[in-house]
Chains A and B, each alone.
Chain A
C-alpha cells in the first residue's frame, strides 16, 4: 500500500493540471477574501458574533476565521470536479489497471484512492480559509490563548469531517460509474438537487422528522457548531451524522469496486 501511495504522491507532484488548479485557487482566494472581508467593520463582526449567541463581540481575525470555516458549500462543488478528475479519470483512462497488474488487492487500491482523494480535495478546499486567515487573521492567531487553540483545533477537526462527508456523493458516483463524464454529471445533479431539497425542507415546521434529519445534514450543521459557544450536543450529533455518512460512503465504494468489471 505504501508503494501505491508513493506513486500517487509522485504523480500528483508531476501533474501540471493540479498545480495550475492550485495556483488559480490561491489567486482567486486572495482576491475573493479581499472582496468579502476588507470592507467589513468591527461592528458587523460583533453583530455576526451576537447572531450566533457569542457572549463577546469577535475581533476581525476571529470573525474571518469563523466565516471561512463556516462556508463549506465550495467543498461540495470542488468534490464534484475532484471526483471526476482524480478517480473517474483513472477508470476512463484505465490507469487504475496498473495498480491491479502490480498485484495489489482491490481493498488496498480502494483505501489508497480514498486517501488520495481526501488529501487532494481537503488540501484544495483549505486554500480559501488559509488565504483569508493569512491575510486578515494573523494578528488574532499570534495572540491565541490555550482555549483559543482548542477552539481552532475543534473547528478544523469538525470542518475536516464535514468536508469528508460532503465529498461522499462524488466518491460514490466515481466508484459506481467508473467514468469521468458520468461521475461529473451524476454528482453534479445530486449536489444541485440536494441543495434545492434542503432549501425546501428547511421551510417545513419545526418538530417534523424530516426537518430534524435535514438539520443535521453535515452541510447544514456547520453554522451550529463552528462558533465558540456551540453546544456539545450539537457538535456530537453533527459529527455522528458526518461519520455515518463517511462510513456509508466507504462501504458503498467497496461494494461497487469489489467485483467490478474494469475496462
Chain B
C-alpha cells in the first residue's frame, strides 16, 4: 500500500496556478527528496498533504484513505515540519513537546524526554522557547514532528538555520529513525547537495509541474556520474569486493580494466579511505559526469538559479 498517492492535483490561488496536475506516490520505508526552485510549489504541496489547504482539482490519499474524513484521521500517523518551526514561544521546550504528546494521544510521558534527548535538548527543557537559538528551535520542532514514531515524516527545508555539525546530527537521527521504525521521509530542499547521499528517491518539481522522479541510482546514471579508479591487476578483485561492500552505488569493472563507481565526486574520500585501509594501491582516480545541479538545470530547461 502506498503511504501517499497524489492524483492529478492542482492548486490555484486567484489567477495563479501554483501546482498543475501533479501525480506521484510514496512507498514505505524510503526517503524521498522533493527538489525544486524557490516558488516551485514544494511548500504548497506539503501544506495540502497536511490539510492546511485543499487541492483545487485532483485527489490526495494518505495510507489508502478514500474520503476526506479518513485523510484527516490519517494525519495522526504523520509528523510534519513545514516552513518555520511552530512553537509556543513563552512555553518551555518540555511544555511544547508535551502539548504535542497530549494532542497525539501518546500516553507515555517519557516519550517527551526521549524526543528531547534525541535532539540534544534535554538539558534545556525548562528554558522558555523564546530564549532558544534558531537551530535549537529547529531541533525542537523536529522533536515534536518525530514524537510518537510517525509512519511518514514531512520535512520542508528542515536543515535551514542549522550549522554543518547540526545538519550532520539531524541527518544521522533521521536515518536512524528510518532504520529503526521504517519511517518514510518526504523532505524538501532547494539546496541540492543537502539531499544527496541522504535520499533514496528524488521528485523534481518545476513551476508547479512534475519535472521527473527517479531513484538515487537512476539519477546517478542519468547524470553519468562516475568515479574511475585504476588499481594493479592483481588487486582488482579485492578492490571490487571492498567497494561493493562499502558503497551503496553500483560498482563495475570496465573492459579497459578501470573500476567505475557510479556516484558523485563527494565520495572520492570514502573510496580513498576504503582502499587505503585494505592497503590496495590506487594508481589513479578521476571523476566524470555532470553535477546534480547541472542535471536539474537541464531538466527544467532553463538557466534559473537553484
Which residues of A are at the interface with B, using a C-beta cutoff of 8 A? 3-4, 6-7, 10-11, 14-17, 93-95, 97-106, 259, 261-263
Do A259 and B54 touch (CB < 8 A)?
yes
Do B90 and A101 touch (CB < 8 A)?
no
0/1 string, B254-276, CB within 8 A of A gives 1: 00000000000000000000000
Chain B neighbourhood of A259, CB < 8 A = 54
Do B51 and A3 touch (CB < 8 A)?
no
A-B contact pairs, 30 of them (CB 8 A): A3-B103, A3-B105, A4-B103, A6-B102, A7-B99, A7-B102, A7-B103, A10-B99, A10-B102, A11-B91, A11-B99, A14-B91, A15-B90, A93-B89, A95-B88, A97-B52, A97-B86, A100-B52, A101-B78, A101-B79, A102-B75, A102-B100, A102-B103, A103-B76, A103-B77, A104-B72, A105-B72, A261-B52, A262-B47, A262-B53
How far, in angstroms, from A97 to B75 measured CA to CA in the complex? Answer: 12
Number of A-B residue pairs with CB-CB distance less than 8 Å in the complex they form: 70
Q: How far is the CB of A227 from chain B (nearest CB, A)?
A: 44
Do A102 and B52 touch (CB < 8 A)?
no
Q: How far is the CB of B173 from chain A (nearest CB, A)?
A: 20
Chain A neighbourhood of B47, CB < 8 A = 261-262
Do B76 and A102 touch (CB < 8 A)?
yes
Question: Which one of A16, A94, A98 has the highest number of Cβ atoms from chain B below 10 Å of its Cβ?
Answer: A98
0/1 string, B237-252, CB within 8 A of A gives 1: 0000000000000000
Residues A98 and B90 in contact in the complex (CB < 8 Å), given A103-B75, A104-B72: no
How far, in angstroms, from A259 to B102 measured CA to CA in the complex? Answer: 26
Does B73 touch A at the CB level, under 8 Å? yes
Q: How far is the CB of B138 from chain A (nearest CB, A)?
A: 15
Main secondary structure, interface of A, reads helix
Does B193 touch A at the CB level, under 8 Å? no
Chain B neighbourhood of A7, CB < 8 A = 99, 102-103
0/1 string, B85-113, CB within 8 A of A gives 1: 01111110001000110111100000000
Chain B neighbourhood of A4, CB < 8 A = 103
Chain A neighbourhood of B99, CB < 8 A = 7, 10-11, 98
Chain B neighbourhood of A3, CB < 8 A = 102-103, 105
Do A101 and B80 touch (CB < 8 A)?
yes
Chain A neighbourhood of B79, CB < 8 A = 101
Do A262 and B52 touch (CB < 8 A)?
yes
Does B50 touch A at the CB level, under 8 Å? yes
Do A100 and B102 touch (CB < 8 A)?
no
Told that A3-B103, A10-B99, A261-B52 touch, could you supply 13 new A-B pairs with CB distance under 8 A?
A: A93-B86, A95-B87, A98-B99, A101-B79, A102-B76, A103-B74, A103-B75, A104-B72, A106-B72, A259-B54, A261-B54, A262-B52, A262-B53
Does B304 touch A at the CB level, under 8 Å? no
Does B279 touch A at the CB level, under 8 Å? no
Does B15 touch A at the CB level, under 8 Å? no
Do B80 and A11 touch (CB < 8 A)?
no
How far, in angstroms, from A97 to B86 measured CA to CA in the complex? Answer: 8
How far, in angstroms, from A95 to B50 measured CA to CA in the complex? Answer: 14
Which residue from B76, B78, B86 sits with its C-beta under 8 Å from A95? B86
Does B69 touch A at the CB level, under 8 Å? yes
Do A14 and B95 touch (CB < 8 A)?
yes
How far, in angstroms, from A104 to B105 measured CA to CA in the complex? Answer: 12
Do A101 and B95 touch (CB < 8 A)?
no
Chain B neighbourhood of A101, CB < 8 A = 50-51, 75, 78-80
Do A100 and B50 touch (CB < 8 A)?
yes
Measured CB to CB, the nearest residue on chain A to B75 is A103
Q: How far is the CB of A141 from chain B (nearest CB, A)?
A: 38
Residues A261 and B53 in contact in the complex (CB < 8 Å), given A17-B90, A95-B86, A97-B86: yes
How far, in angstroms, from A106 to B73 measured CA to CA in the complex? Answer: 11
Do B102 and A103 touch (CB < 8 A)?
no
0/1 string, B263-301, CB within 8 A of A gives 1: 000000000000000000000000000000000000000
Measured CB to CB, the nearest residue on chain A to B77 is A103
How far, in angstroms, from A34 to B95 measured CA to CA in the complex? Answer: 40
Which residue from B54, B73, B78, B100 sits with its C-beta under 8 Å from A98? B100
How far, in angstroms, from A98 to B72 measured CA to CA in the complex? Answer: 13
How far, in angstroms, from A94 to B83 measured CA to CA in the complex? Answer: 11
How far, in angstroms, from A95 to B82 measured CA to CA in the complex? Answer: 12
The 8 closest A-B pairs by CB, nearest first: A103-B76, A261-B53, A102-B103, A262-B52, A103-B75, A94-B86, A100-B51, A7-B102
Do A103 and B90 touch (CB < 8 A)?
no
Residues A98 and B86 in contact in the complex (CB < 8 Å), given A14-B91, A103-B75, A261-B52: yes
Q: How far is the CB of A262 from chain B (nearest CB, A)?
A: 4
Q: How far is the CB of B203 from chain A (nearest CB, A)?
A: 22
Q: How far is the CB of A3 from chain B (nearest CB, A)?
A: 6
Chain B neighbourhood of A94, CB < 8 A = 86
Which residue from B50, B88, B104 sits with its C-beta under 8 Å from A97? B50
Measured CB to CB, the nearest residue on chain B to A8 is B99
Chain A neighbourhood of B75, CB < 8 A = 100-103
